Chain A
Amino acid sequence: AQSVAQPEDQVNVAEGNPLTVKCTYSVSGNPYLFWYVQYPNRGLQFLLKYITGDNLVKGSYGFEAEFNKSQTSFHLKKPSALVSDSALYFCAVSPFGGKLIFGQGTELSVKP
């Protein structure tokens, strides 16, 4: 079955420190992977996606993600966290027909 797992419900980081939000996937075939961010009572904002090519994908707001095929992971990273990065982050995979399968979400909290 196609699935996405975000093993951490919450990640706490101090402002200025690097952050990582973890995501692992299980799909057959080539995985198309996405990261979205959701602020309270808002829709999702697209951050970045991996389709093919370079394993390190750069996205919006200074975020990047590293695709690791052997570990079936697609972790989201940022070198220096901001308080304004505090939000709910979703990893998603698009296995077929353009549908997205979402992970359960990780709440990122960045403290000053």
Chain B
Amino acid sequence: GAVVSQHPSWVICKSGTSVKIECRSLDFQATTMFWYRQFPKQSLMLMATSNEGSKATYEQGVEKDKFLINHASLTLSTLTVTSAHPEDSSFYICSARVNSGSSGTDTQYFGPGTRLTVL
């Protein structure tokens, strides 16, 4: 149980285009999903918290107009990288939290990640 998928697993795009990444919780409902960015051999950097039916909460320094997040249902959140540039190339990972009534103790389950390369 607690499987999270991401699509696509990798994408190459031209500079200036937009890319959408989907994150789905396959066997549970997730009120809250998270989006992370990871550089090679480094830790995960939380970009934003995605709440179903409301606006995402972005971490300091993350441009909300560049990284658009939509959490339209309890099983789907999307991250759109708008007007992508080479510096946006990275590994993007989402996670979904299994709700148990106490957010601090809930386990986050992670998707397999999406490798974005912007040429």
- In the complex with contacts A43-B6, A102-B44, A94-B113 CB distance below 8 A: no
Chain A residues closer than 8 Å to B34, beta-carbon distance: 99-100
List residues 92-112 of chain A with CB under 8 A from any CB of chain B.
94-100, 102-105, 107
Secondary structure dominating the interface of A: loop
List residues 5-19 of chain B with CB under 8 A from any CB of chain A.
6
- For residue B4, CB closer than 8 A to chain A, the reply is yes
Q: Are A97 and B104 in contact (CB under 8 A)?
A: yes
Q: Report the interface size for chain A: residues with CB under 8 A from the other chain.
A: 24
Chain B residues closer than 8 Å to A42, beta-carbon distance: 112-113
Q: How far is the CB of B62 from chain A (nearest CB, A)?
A: 13
Nearest B-chain residue to A96, judged by Cβ:
B104
Cα distance A104–B91 when bound, in Å?
16
Chain A residues closer than 8 Å to B111, beta-carbon distance: 43
Could you say which of A15-23, A45-53, A65-73, A76-84 contacts chain B?
A45-53
Q: Are B105 and A51 in contact (CB under 8 A)?
A: yes
Cross-chain contact of A95 among B4, B41, B104 (Cβ < 8 A): B104
Nearest A-chain residue to B38, judged by Cβ:
A38
- For residue B73, CB closer than 8 A to chain A, the reply is no
Q: How far is the CB of A11 from chain B (nearest CB, A)?
A: 15
Nearest B-chain residue to A39, judged by Cβ:
B112
Q: Are B110 and A103 in contact (CB under 8 A)?
A: no
Binding site for A on B (CB under 8 A): 2, 4, 6, 32, 34, 41-44, 46, 49, 91, 93, 95, 97, 103-113, 115
Binding site for B on A (CB under 8 A): 32, 34, 36, 41-46, 49, 51, 90, 94-100, 102-105, 107
